[in-house]
Amino acid sequence: MIKKSGRKLLWACLAALVVIIFAVSIAGCGPSSGDLAAVDYTPIVRGDWEVSTPGEQGLDAELVARMYYNAAEHETIYSLLVVKNGYLVAEDYFNAGSIDELSKRASVTKSYTSALVGITLDQSYLESIDQKMLDFFPDIAGQLTDPRKKQITIRNMLEMRAGYPWEEKNAAAWEALWSGEYLTKIAAIPLSADPGTRFQYSNLTSHWLGIIAARASGMDLMSLGNKYLFEPLGVVPGEGWLRDVDGYYIGCGDILFTARDMAKFGLLYLNGGMYEGKRIISAEWVNDSLQTYTVNEFELKKIGRFTDIGYGYQWWSADAGKHHINFAWGHGGQLIVLVHDLDMVIVTTADSFWGKDIHFDAWKYEEAIIKIVSDFISSLPVE
């Protein structure tokens, strides 16, 4: 028989062995230094971006390589770009992705719609975001049965506090979202909260914001965007931005841009509405858009290493390690992430899983992309 002291020693040795095996297994799961050295994320030189290297812009090249190594393992990501200090320092494309790839950017569109609302305000097409939603829908006002809807403001809509439900959690709203017929739904879809009281993510609300921008300016969203946003940024949306049955471009989703074009939009917001020395959006609008008016009210309070998930004017916010970020976020893993203290923009594009039947298949892939990006940002020191 083993004496008591011997048994203690045996258990201690076994415990130590388990720790060693676990540590070795974890180490074996990650890339080796040789693997990381082989990762090529050198930006393509094309003339539309000034390029540099992570090292020249103060980034740890090994941390960048690790992110790209992990991205290459992912089966639905299309692109990953890093802009630091205004330079494109890392770029690669995967799976169906390429430098010219255009596909639906899903709810990233909401951040563009927010920009166009801000531009209508800057250009005095709108008087104030405290104007009532129904000021712009006199054709629907007579159909209302809920008097609370008369109190909804553009500000409520921007903050996702109009009172309309998240479609994925409401069967009637979900069917309405895929119907393509949206104007009458202002009256038909019941509110699930009093206006201004609670955050509820609503695609229909974002679409109606786009209609407001169009009606206020007298231009459709594409024309408004081309005149005041897209052409000044030197970008051209891809063909295929869908319209509803009344002819309005979908303000909540499906705009088409390349990853590089998305990075320009991110840089515009990172720089307070300036791009290449030109004022495109007022600094006040950008600042107000990137505030956090709601925090930890969304169903997901943590995604990867993004914590304290918040919302501004159709832009998300979060903390990632020691960094506060804002991000445009689209279904499937479309991201434009602003890391303010590091003067950095990170862009990902991915399969958007567009379609009613496959919509809910996306989450595990989308979450994995967010984890790749959030792990990277969290690993970076404060400058």
The domain limits of the chain are: 103-379
Q: What percent of the chain has pLDDT over 90?
A: 91
Which residues are bridge partners to 278 per DSSP? 275
The pLDDT score that the predictor gives to residue 157 is: 99
Residue 254, pLDDT > 80, answer yes
In this prediction, residues 369-373 reach a mean pLDDT of 98
Per the CB < 8 A criterion, the answer to whether 231 and 202 are in contact is no
- Dist. CA 328–CA 336, nearest whole Å: 5
153-175: pLDDT as tens digits: 999 999 999 999 999 999 999 99
pLDDT band at 112 (very low <50, low <70, confident <90, very high): very high
Residue 13, pLDDT > 70, answer no
The pLDDT score that the predictor gives to residue 25 is: 40
In this prediction, residues 117-137 reach a mean pLDDT of 98
In this prediction, residues 292-313 reach a mean pLDDT of 95
* Residue showing tokens 């991915």: 350
Q: What is the pTM of this model?
A: 0.92
The pLDDT score that the predictor gives to residue 301 is: 85
Per the CB < 8 A criterion, the answer to whether 383 and 341 are in contact is yes
The pLDDT score that the predictor gives to residue 3 is: 53
350-361: pLDDT as tens digits: 999 999 999 999
- Dist. CA 178–CA 187, nearest whole Å: 17
In this prediction, residues 141-159 reach a mean pLDDT of 97
How far is residue 159 CA from its own chain's centroid? 15
In this prediction, residues 200-213 reach a mean pLDDT of 98
Homologous superfamily of 103-379: DD-peptidase/beta-lactamase superfamily (3.40.710.10)
The pLDDT score that the predictor gives to residue 20 is: 39
Tell me the CA distances in angstroms from 188 to 39, 173, 238, 306, one per residue in order.
Answer: 53, 9, 33, 36
In this prediction, residues 246-268 reach a mean pLDDT of 98
The pLDDT score that the predictor gives to residue 338 is: 99
In this prediction, residues 332-361 reach a mean pLDDT of 97
pLDDT band at 12 (very low <50, low <70, confident <90, very high): low
Residue 17, pLDDT > 70, answer no
The pLDDT score that the predictor gives to residue 4 is: 52
- Dist. CA 306–CA 378, nearest whole Å: 9
DSSP assignment of 257-277: E-HHHHHHHHHHHHTTTEETT
In this prediction, residues 336-350 reach a mean pLDDT of 98
Residue 5, pLDDT > 80, answer no
For 197, how many CA atoms within 13 A lie in the half-sphere containing its CB? Answer: 11
The pLDDT score that the predictor gives to residue 22 is: 40
In this prediction, residues 292-315 reach a mean pLDDT of 95
Per the CB < 8 A criterion, the answer to whether 254 and 164 are in contact is no
The pLDDT score that the predictor gives to residue 28 is: 45
The pLDDT score that the predictor gives to residue 196 is: 98
69-89: pLDDT as tens digits: 999 999 999 999 999 999 999
pLDDT band at 30 (very low <50, low <70, confident <90, very high): confident
